[in-house]
Amino acid sequence: MAFLRKEHAMFKKLMIQLALVIGLSLTIPMTACAYTIEADPINFTYFPGSASNELIVLHESGNERNLGPHSLDNEVAYMKRNWSNAYVSYFVGSGGRVKQLAPAGQIQYGAGSLANQKAYAQIELARTNNAATFKKDYAAYVNLARDLAQNIGADFSLDDGTGYGIVTHDWITKNWWGDHTDPYGYLARWGISKAQLAQDLQTGVSETGETVIIQPGKPNAPKYQVGQAIRFTSIYPTPDALINEHLSAEALWTQVGTITAKLPDRQNLYRVENSGHLLGYVNDGDIAELWRPQTKKSFLIGVDEGIVLRAGQPSLLAPIYGIWPKNTRFYYDTFYIADGYVFIGGTDTTGARIYLPIGPNDGNAQNTWGSFAS
């Protein structure tokens, strides 16, 4: 329909601006640390897509044949040649150097499909056989992970079970998919246990050899507060449910609720209710946004037979919400194109999303089953 062309043009302009921002992220400075980031970008032949920015994934290379002073450059050169098989956004090694191969926020191929889609950044650590080199590598590795976690509003907890924030490839294997256990085996060679890594992520590690702590260590505050209305994309049925027990929000009668409690003995786990009914428990990574319904416009149904509303998604195959008769006013906030039709989307009094088809997607703005009004 013609009335969608303007919105499409605005969307295209927004995507161009976003692409510029993503490209520039190769040079965005991190918080004040001793490490510096060397841009060494992969020459991508296609765009792998955008991640949902929920994770910082920690890896190590596992390459015993590459331990010398040039191990970082060797690993990066190999990854750039073979990026379509596996690649990450950051590689650390050779005495605390940090190379960025791809923009943070872009899907990377490092930890399986689910984790790749969620990862804001994945960090590889090149191996070494030199203690002084490892000390510098480890400090940069930890501090980079902390800085990246702050970029997505996560705290500094490690493998905490929430599915949000800093995780290792080992955690992904145990909870989602795969057979990798890095980086724990390599770190253990140098006396770094899981507990030590977790503690160092909380405090930061000096990169200068001094005993003072970098960015002394208080985790970031939770992103959301009791009383806030939120829209969520996934949810736990109980506060003790495991990550693989997450439910898609589309399985519930609504995807909107109010945070009624922050559980004191759990990490970023909120109780969510709607109209007095318990919906479940969510983490920061399950929440899409604060729910601030926009000022809505309306569409007046104008066909004698009325229009069938759909629930949950804009599709002719979605469950029927009801049939609204002629002269009923539908308040909407968004346009969608699906199944050859234009839909408008709104929210009912319970917070459930509902969708109204208003005519075929034929490019004719006059061919609608009603009329628009403010």
> 152 with 91, same domain?
yes
Last residue in a domain, options 290, 317, 342:
290
Return the amino acid letter for 49.
Answer: G
Give me the CATH number covering residue 351. Answer: 2.30.30.40
The domain tally of the chain equals 3
> 283 with 301, same domain?
no
Backbone angles phi, psi at 343, to 5 degrees: -115, 150
> 43 with 131, same domain?
yes
279, 272 Cβ separation under 8 angstroms: yes
Confidence of residue 150 (pLDDT cuts 50, 70, 90): confident
Return the amino acid letter for 327.
Answer: N
Assess if residue 220 is contained within a domain: no
Give me the CATH number covering residue 110. Answer: 3.40.80.10
> 191 with 54, same domain?
yes
Rounded to an integer, the average pLDDT of 39-68 is 93
> 39 with 181, same domain?
yes
> 236 with 337, same domain?
no
> 343 with 286, same domain?
no
Range of the domain at 183: 25-203
> 67 with 156, same domain?
yes
Range with the largest mean pLDDT of 1-5, 106-110, 258-262, 288-292 = 106-110
> 249 with 343, same domain?
no
Q: Which of 91-95, 212-216, 339-343 has the lowest mean pLDDT?
A: 212-216
> 158 with 73, same domain?
yes
- Of 338 and 55, the structure prediction assigns the larger pLDDT to 55
Confidence of residue 11 (pLDDT cuts 50, 70, 90): very low
75, 69 Cβ separation under 8 angstroms: no
What would the pLDDT profile of 241-279 be if each residue is shown by its tens digit?
776 677 887 777 678 889 998 886 665 578 999 767 888
Range with the largest mean pLDDT of 127-141, 162-176, 194-208, 353-367 = 127-141
Cα torsion through 239, 243, 249, 255, rounded to 10 = 40
What would the pLDDT profile of 160-209 be if each residue is shown by its tens digit?
877 889 999 999 999 888 999 999 999 999 999 999 999 899 888 887 65
Assess if residue 313 is contained within a domain: yes
